[in-house]
Structure 1
Amino acid sequence: MEVRYSLEVRERAPHVRWRVGQVVKHKVGLKLEIRDLNELSWPLLIVFFVEISSSTYVQVMVHGYRGVIIGWDLTAKASKEFIERVHKGNKEFADKPNYAILIDVRDRLIPQLGYVVQDNIELHGGRIIHNLLNTYMERYDENDQKYVPKPWLKRIYPDD
């Protein structure tokens, strides 16, 4: 994955929803047309939380992973190939805020960095485990339920 970063100060825009240090959860929504609930296989029911929204449609919310935000861009700053692969045809995602997230190793076997569009994350809270966490964060603030960024990161995102 190629994510390009610069150390320039980022001015917060009103449409940037999340802040550096917040713990979030990645989410992806899928809609499946189901004519008969017996068509659903048990592995699907075990893996996904299924919410019936009408008699013919089942909405599936997949919570991919937890993580802490370590940066954001007003619009996606990644290669065209990466954006096409990750956003899977949702070209409008490239024009929305995208967030760099350290992914909790309890949700992925190998420490990873995610780059996720704003629409696909929600606030979660709690601590995460990642081998690079101390590179970006000073400590976890129990009162605010978020991590406190290191001074160098706070200089880049002063409004967070």
Structure 2
Amino acid sequence: MPVNRAVVFQFSLLLLVLPVQFIITQWNPVSNTERTHNLQVLMLKLNSWRTQFLSLKAWKQWCNTAADYVTGTVQKYAYPIITEDESEGGESPAVEVLQYKDKSGHFAGSVEPRSPRSPKVKFRVGQVIRHKTWGYRGVIVGWDETAKAPEDWIRRMHGSNKHWRSLPNYSVLVDSRDRSDDQTTYVAEENIEIIKNTKVQHPQVEEYFEKFDGTRYLARPWLKKIYPHDQ
């Protein structure tokens, strides 16, 4: 029986997904957060390759399968579940991020570089903030020019504050002295203010930042690539 070279080629590429995944997830030194970033980049590349071969039905099917597989891996290593109780009075918590985490980049999770930097975004990655209503401290680890979250989350958390959707929204590691359970929140810009000379206690701080310079945190190289104009 003749060997179908196209099938062999596709099968070989499919087998390569596993070792590539293993290399990325085991590469040292790598934090869980950076591992997630690397996997997201791989997913984006697979999606790019997929679009280049749309005319080949078999190839398209293989790429879809591979991309879906990598997406599932990204979700497996995605950021910890983010929970909070309050949904009124200026709070905008990101609950159960694993439920929503996908290639859409919800909750400032996109790996696409924020370049050029929008002039409407007031605060920067690495700045320490305080929530104006709830008073907790935290450090900004990401932002979106406008809220980027699932519709059901926005309806539930923004409530009557519909203008929050059009404001910059920030992903914030919350100081464990102010909130338990190593929380992260997703907060509209008008609800936070910058504070200085304050270090934040959170187990993921070192995954995002190299050091604290006395005023703000300095991003690690992988985070600088996403927010190249924030330093």
- Length-normalised TM-score, structure 1: 0.74
Distance 1:128 1:73 in 2: 22
Alignment of 1:9-20 (within 5 A): 9-11=113-115, 12-20=117-125
SS in 2 for 1:64: coil
Residue 87 (structure 1) aligns with: 158
Q: What is the alpha-carbon distance in structure 1 between the residues aligned to residue 124 and residue 189 of structure 2? A: 11
Q: Write the mapping of 1:1-160 to structure 2, written as runs, cut at 5 A.
A: 1=95, 2=97, 4=106, 5-11=109-115, 12-28=117-133, 63-125=134-196, 126-142=198-214, 145-160=215-230
Q: Deviation per CA, 1:98-142: give whole Å up to 9, x if none.
A: 000000000011101100000000001210000111110110012
Choose between structure 1 and 2: higher strand proportion: 1
Structure 1 unaligned residues grouped into runs of 5+: 29-62
Q: Note the aligned Cα RMSD (angstroms).
A: 1.1
Question: Using CA pairs below 8 Å that are at least 6 residues apart, which structure has the higher relative contact order?
Answer: 1
Q: For residue 14 of structure 1, what is the amino acid of its counterpart?
A: P
Per the alignment, residue 53 of structure 1 pairs with none
Determine the C-alpha separation between the residues in 1 that align with 2:166 and 2:150. 13
Q: Going by fraction, where is helix more abundant, 1 or 2?
A: 2
Q: Match of 2:129, as an amino acid?
A: V
Give distance in 1, aligned partners of 2:173 and 2:157: 16
Q: Which structure has the larger Rg?
A: 2
Alignment gaps of 5+ in structure 2: 1-94
Q: Structure 2 length normalisation: TM-score?
A: 0.52
Give the aligned residue type for 1:10: R
| TM-superposition CA deviations, 1:24-64 (whole Å, max 9, x none) | 00113xxxxxxxxxxxxxxxxxxxxxxxxxxxxxxxxxx43
CA displacement at 1:88 relative to structure 2: 2.2
Please report how far the alpha carbon of residue 83 of structure 1 lies from its aligned counterpart in structure 2 after TM superposition.
1.4
Q: State the number of aligned residues.
A: 124
Runs of 4+ in 1 over 3 A off after TM superposition: none
